[in-house]
């Protein structure tokens, strides 16, 4: 059983992770530039050091044992911590050092993603040596991972406010209800009333939405997804109605594949926030990035306001 970790142990653990990521010893040969027999020997040495088997390999293929499944998670955490330690030691003279894990909700518009990208560029101008780790998660997962410390900051839509977190508004996303070209309502789409939608099947979110006006027949929510593109596929099937963000719907609208049911009525606005743990729990790296993100937002808002006030007739 492993006691104090040695350099050899760390090397063997890194080899094991590489084998798992490659899907087996044979596939790992190229990335590690080591022969299969050598890799097999290194893996056997690690298992001997541990006192139990990590995986099954042979003609039946490569498969982790239950202990191997648990060990690889611990191994990734260990190697991540070792890498972070190395970064911080090398850059102790820098003002900001560490890792910043950011969670994002999927399928946000290009414009909104550019705002986050510009905030990262602004942050990189600081005296820092920070490793960014970005994840795409559902709203509920973003909040839970903020609470357990897996994320330091998250940008997304949050219907429920967790008291232990703080939320700062960023932008608003408009969503409309659509049907596909093969749906019986397609020819009449544009000014349909909720009564006319009775009996229709809907694709709905797996997470809580703000109060929206729609056909109140929960039994006809016959498809559930937390992904916007998946919702689009369900709408395109012609069997489901569903809400889509403007930027996701745009290419399908342009191709004549979907139609809005009633843009003036069947719509809602989703407010997006940047969420962090309470102010007292924010480290200096997270605080610095939060400042840069909010600076980008305020700069963009000021620019949009200035452009909106321009008298183009005088230009």
CATH value of 173-269 in 3.40.50.2300, 3.40.50.1820, 1.20.840.10, 3.40.190.290: 3.40.190.290
Q: Which pLDDT tens digit goes with each residue over 57-90?
A: 877 788 899 999 999 998 888 888 787 777 666 6
Q: Tell which wins on pLDDT, 44 or 300.
A: 44
The 3-class SS string of 9-50 reads HHHHHHHHHHHHHHCCHHHHHHHHCCCHHHHHHHHHHHHHHH
Topology, domain 7-90: Arc Repressor Mutant, subunit A (1.10.10)
Q: Which pLDDT tens digit goes with each residue over 243-255?
A: 999 999 999 999 9
The answer to whether 7-90 and 96-171+271-305 have equal CATH topology is no
Phi, psi of 96 (to 5 degrees): -120, 120
Q: Which pLDDT tens digit goes with each residue over 194-234?
A: 888 888 999 988 776 665 555 444 458 889 888 889 999 99
Position 153 confidence tier, pLDDT thresholds 50, 70, 90? very high
List the chain domain ranges: 7-90, 96-171+271-305, 173-269
> Would you give the DSSP letter of residue 59?
T
Position 278 confidence tier, pLDDT thresholds 50, 70, 90? confident
pLDDT at 177: 92
The burial of 312, by beta-carbon neighbours within 10 Å (0-12 exposed, 13-18 middle, 19 or more buried), is given as exposed
Q: Which pLDDT tens digit goes with each residue over 111-152?
A: 888 888 999 999 999 988 899 999 888 877 888 899 988 899
The model carries a pTM of 0.61
CATH, range 96-171+271-305: 3.40.190.10
What percent of the chain has pLDDT above 70?
Answer: 87
- pLDDT surpassing 50 at residue 103: yes
Q: How many CA atoms lie within 13 A of 290 on its CB side?
A: 20
What value does the mean pLDDT take over residues 243-270?
A: 93
- pLDDT surpassing 50 at residue 290: yes
């Amino acid at each position: 059983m492993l006691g104090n970790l040695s350099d050899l142990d760390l090397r063997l653990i890194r080899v094991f992770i590489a084998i798992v990521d490659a899907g087996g010893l044979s596939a790992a040969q190229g990335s590690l530039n080591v022969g299969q027999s050598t890799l097999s020997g290194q893996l056997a040495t690690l298992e001997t050091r541990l006192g139990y088997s990590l995986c099954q390999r042979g003609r039946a293929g490569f498969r982790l044992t239950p202990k191997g499944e648990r060990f690889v998670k611990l191994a990734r955490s260990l190697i991540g911590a070792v890498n972070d330690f190395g970064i911080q030691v090398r850059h102790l003279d820098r003002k900001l050092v560490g890792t910043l894990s950011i969670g994002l909700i999927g399928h946000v518009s290009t414009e909104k993603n550019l705002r986050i990208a510009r905030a990262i560029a602004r942050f990189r101008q600081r005296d820092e040596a920070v490793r960014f780790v970005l994840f795409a998660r559902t709203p509920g997962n973003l909040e839970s991972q903020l609470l357990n410390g897996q994320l330091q900051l998250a940008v997304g839509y949050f219907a429920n406010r967790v008291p232990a977190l703080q939320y700062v508004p960023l932008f608003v996303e408009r969503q409309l209800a659509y049907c596909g070209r093969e749906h019986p309502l397609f020819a009449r789409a544009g000014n349909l009333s909720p009564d006319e939608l009775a009996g229709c099947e809907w694709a709905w979110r797996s997470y809580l939405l703000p109060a929206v006006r729609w056909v109140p027949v929960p039994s006809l929510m016959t498809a559930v997804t937390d992904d916007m593109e998946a919702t689009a596929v369900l709408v395109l099937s012609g069997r489901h109605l569903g809400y889509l963000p403007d930027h996701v719907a745009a290419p399908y609208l342009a191709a004549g594949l979907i139609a809005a049911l009633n843009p003036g009525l069947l719509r809602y606005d989703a407010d997006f926030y940047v969420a962090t743990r309470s102010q007292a729990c924010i480290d200096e790296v997270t605080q610095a990035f939060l400042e840069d993100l909010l600076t980008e937002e305020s700069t963009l808002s000021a620019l949009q306001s200035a452009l909106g006030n321009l008298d183009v007739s005088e230009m």
